[in-house]
Amino acid sequence: MKLTRLLMLSAMLATASSFAAFAQGTPAPKDAVLYFIWPLDGATLKGPFWCRFGLRNMGVTHAGDTFPNSGHHHLLIDVNEPLDTNEPIPQDKSHLHFGAGQTETRLELPPGKHTLQLVLGDAKHFPFNPPLVSKKITITVK
Amino acid sequence: MRGEIRQIHPRRGGGSPGDPTPRRLAAIMAADIVGYSRLMNTDEEGTHARLKRILRELVEPTISEHHGRMVKTTGDGFIAIFDSPVEAVRCGIVIQQSMVGRNAALPAQQALLYRIGVNLGDVIMDANDVFGDGVNVAVRLEGIANPGQVYISGGVYEQIKHKLVCGYQSLGDRQVKNITDPVRVYRVLPDPAAFMRAQKRREIAFVVLACIALLAVAAGLWYTMLPGRNLIGAQPSAPAAPASPKPSETAAAIAPTMQPTAPPQAEAPASPDAATPSPATRQPASPPPASPSVKEPEMAKLAGGNFAMGSTDDPSEKPIHQVTIKPFAMSKFPVTVREWNECAAANACEFTALGDENAPVTNVSWSDTKQYLAWLAQVTHKPYRLPSEAEWEYAARGGTQTKYWWGDQLQPGMANCKNCVAVASTAAESPAKVGSFKPNSFGLYDMGGGVDQWVEDCWHRNYQGAPTDGAPWMDGDCVSHVIRSGSWKNDASYVRPSNRDHYDTGVRYPTHGFRIALSP
């Protein structure tokens, strides 16, 4: 409960301090954290699974909305190329976009090892400055 | 009532020892399954098992993720409380959206749908239950909610209206059972596009009626006038007749004819008749005046027929199935920046496109394309639409069953994609101008590569249960729509005519464009 209140309070404080938010180099709060709620790093999963995205000290919004300190999720599956911060986050079968503000998705991956990583995008799908990315986790699908 | 008695005589031993006062303010969520008795009647064990699974895998984790607490489950529903109304509504949306995904894989009679109501109120807490008017109102809200939707009270609305990015539709004050004061009710529209639709529904109905009337009159007029004219030229020129006193305006609008192949320009052979407009022409003057000088996208007529849709290259393209396509017309090129901006200039499209006039328009959402199509249909009096996914693939294949429309091997200079072109252009901010590459055997350009192209269909993750009559596949999870063609930023595998992907309906992305279709 205490943790919940603390989180809510810090989220409120974060949204209160405003920045101008535009296409590139949109600033992200220094204490923002992007992480996987589920699955855990190293997990072994059977069949399709829910993947849930966590974001602390920032808000999730619809792509196209320029509210300060908010963005939308992108899930990178088995992506090895480094992130280009001067380009919109690519859109293809290994870069899934959640521009409607979704915070979870059902994933169906072929059996084997896979890496998952989250990248928060601004209104125009550019990474923030500094880029807000999650730890790249490795999972095994049975 | 039981709760109030307990409040007067709180039992030290019972309840939760951590809670000093059992009264508190909370956001209360009430939910139940629609038609539970009917479902139990047809498949008792199956329904029970599925409901348990949904509670365990979806509802409970989602509630705790939003810092809520499940108070109790009833046979077909549950009551949960939250510290924050924002979290409560967000949780409701997540549950409803996740249910859509789960139901997509099930036959309609097995689908489980929640109705959800959220209210903010002062409640009495108990170890395993919660009491008070606030709970009753939440339950009543849930009772009047449509299946699959979240209804909230005015109190919740006031708390969340500026904090949660979604639409709210006011349903006015409702009298609910056993509650003296009427309750203000709002429907949550998680997708802002849905909100726009709800708002514009009446407006659109009016415009559609007006269009039908216009179309009927225009057709009648056209019938009485010179026969044998090319259809593209003739139809827009018919309503042009009454407007001809302003020739300068018409000329100015026709002037920028920069497209690779210009369609016959609408001159004014009808103007002699204009002096005596028939009484019929005056009738449809009430809607916004049609600008007759719009240059229509160039269309190619396709004969239709049978083809094998799909491939075995990707799970989303299976199973391969036979589809029958009726004759229709497809635009030769994706819609260009210049064509789009005519709509923007008419204030009918909110989005203004940037870039080379003859480049395909990009950064448009599926919802944006609907604005363009509504405007184009209105000014041309032709029911322009997005192609269905099946029509798109039929057109892209150009009568072939090979991996690419030109054969099984990648060839340079055939498509605008990453690593497909001899001259690397992938770093480019925008795609090549339309028609820069060879057309397929149906005379269509850029069917593969260039820009991703929206089609009418809702996204389904494979072709299990797909229609075979070439119609768009609309049921199921419609929060995202299908995109075809791949873009100049994607590699060669995306250029395949059978390749398919999807994107959120109301969201713009810099590689997304579209082309248009027309039924004869």
Each residue of B251-263: pLDDT tens digit? 333 333 333 333 3
Class level of CATH domain A2-17+28-141? mainly beta
Domain boundaries along the sequence of chain B = 2-190, 196-285, 299-518
**Cα Rg of chain B, angstroms:** 28
B315 Cα to chain A: minimum distance (Å): 10
According to DSSP, the residues that pair with B328 across neighbouring strands are B302
Q: Is residue B445 classed as helix, strand or coil in its secondary structure? A: coil
A99 to B509: CB separation less than 8 angstroms, yes or no: yes
Q: Any chain B CB within 8 A of the CB of A46?
A: no
With CA atoms as reference, the chain B residue closest to A49 would be: B57
- Rounded average pLDDT over B65-72: 91
Q: Give the single-character DSSP code of B335.
A: P
Indicate yes or no: CB of B94 within 8 angstroms of CB of A104: yes
What per-residue confidence (pLDDT) applies to B210?
A: 63
What is the nearest CA distance from B44 to chain A, expressed in angstroms?
Answer: 26
Whose CA is closest to B472, among B297, B328, B280? B328
Q: Tens digit of pLDDT for each residue in A8-61?
A: 444 443 333 333 333 468 999 889 999 999 999 999 999 899 999 999 888 888
By Cβ distance, the residue of B65, B494, B509 closest to A37 is B65
Q: Which residues of A fall within a CB distance of 8 Å from B509?
A: 63, 88, 91, 97, 99, 125
Nearest CA in chain A to B499: A93
Does A6 lie at the interface with B, CB-CB under 8 angstroms? no
Contact B504 A99 (CB under 8 A): yes
Segment B293-318 shows an average pLDDT of 92
The interface residues of chain A toward chain B in range 7-36, judged by CB-CB distance below 8 A, are 8
Instruction: Please tell me the distance in Å from B446's CA to the nearest CA on chain A.
Output: 18
B57: nearest CA in chain A? Answer: A50
CATH of domain B2-190: 3.30.70.1230
In tens, the pLDDT along B448-506 reads 999 999 999 999 999 999 999 999 999 876 889 999 999 999 999 999 999 999 999 99
Q: Which residues of B touch A50 (CB under 8 A)?
A: 57-58
Contacts of A67 in chain B (CB under 8 A): 165
Give the CA distances from residue B256 to residues B250, B266, B338, B445, B455, in Å, rounded to whole numbers and listed in that order: 12, 13, 9, 21, 28
* Predicted ipTM > 0.90: no
CATH H superfamily, domain B299-518: paralog of FGE (formylglycine-generating enzyme) (3.90.1580.10)
Q: How many CB atoms lie within 10 A of CB B210?
A: 16
Domain residue ranges of chain A, discontinuous segments joined by +: 2-17+28-141
Identify residue B163 by its one-letter amino acid code. K
- The shortest CB-CB distance from A101 to any of B67, B165, B512 is to B165
Instruction: Characterise B330 by phi-psi region: left (phi > 0), alpha (psi -120 to 50), beta (else).
Output: beta
